[in-house]
Amino acid sequence: MTDSPEYLEKRAFYDSLLTIYGRKPVLEALEDLSLPVHKLHLATSNRRDHLIARLEQLATERRIEIAHWDRKGLSRISKNARQDQGVALDLALPHYGTAERFLQESQAKYELLALDGITNPQNLGMIIRSACAGGIDGILLPRKGCAQIDPLVIKASTGAVFKTRILRCDSLAATLEQFRASGAEIFGLSSHAEDTLSAINSDQPKVFVLGNETRGVGEAVARQCSRLVRIPMRNNVESLNVAVTAALISFRHQL
């Protein structure tokens, strides 16, 4: 390992790769000229039907490299042998990267969402869509314990996943600790909190942690929160959908 500029640049590029899979999502991505595509992966076991021919044609027209793999090789790339349908595509997304990198570059003022155990792909997609529209600066998405960016999530986000800074990390608790050390304030959303969202008036960078749909924020992650806050709710409603919570946080300066 070396930290030479070439190495860092290369690594940043690979960190920005998002691999999607499945025939329809890959076709749609190839047809969308605004998406920067890196490489098309095809299983050699694919029957060469109309759709595969169309994928190859689109890739050739767009001068995108095509790699052929046996079934096992392809599933190592898609990481989802059951649903990849023998097709995967690497997108090189400028807004897709790592929490680590964001911290290295980060500006004085930002607001992020951090997702802890958000397992429902519909919710993840809707969170990304709402947060992006509300102007959040990025979404911390751990590699484990959360739904991952897959065709369902892309669809539910109505494409917002391609415009939002998605920051991947391994352990969310450890990453939040780094953010805290760098001067960010970490707010855990909890319906049991005393303070409401509107009580926040600091100028520090902020990370809002959204927990699992039923269990809330996990213990290790909760320990990294400087403060718990809640959305003020009327009529004894006990909780909100997590994507609605994400929207209320992201839009709160603009309503």
- Residues of this chain that bind its own copies (CB under 8 A): 126, 129-130, 132-135, 158, 160, 163-164, 197-198, 231-241, 243-244, 247-248, 251-252, 254-255
101 vs 163, beta carbon nearer its own copies:
163
47 vs 234, beta carbon nearer its own copies:
234
| E strands in 70-205 | 87-92, 96-98, 111-115, 138-142, 166-169, 185-189, 195-196
**Start-to-end Cα distance in the chain:** 48
100 vs 213, beta carbon nearer its own copies:
213
| E strands in 93-172 | 96-98, 111-115, 138-142, 166-169
Contact present, 17 and 27 (Cβ < 8 Å): no
CB of 3 to its own copies, least distance (A): 32
77 vs 243, beta carbon nearer its own copies:
243
17 beta partners: 92
CB of 167 to its own copies, least distance (A): 16
CB of 27 to its own copies, least distance (A): 21
CB of 239 to its own copies, least distance (A): 7
46 vs 239, beta carbon nearer its own copies:
239
89 vs 160, beta carbon nearer its own copies:
160
Dist CA 231 CA 165 (whole Å): 24
Dist CA 30 CA 23 (whole Å): 11
Contact present, 150 and 125 (Cβ < 8 Å): no
CB of 162 to its own copies, least distance (A): 10
Contact present, 6 and 53 (Cβ < 8 Å): no
CB burial of 239-255 (b: ≥16 within 10 Å; e: otherwise) equals ebebbebbbbbbeeeee
CB of 194 to its own copies, least distance (A): 16
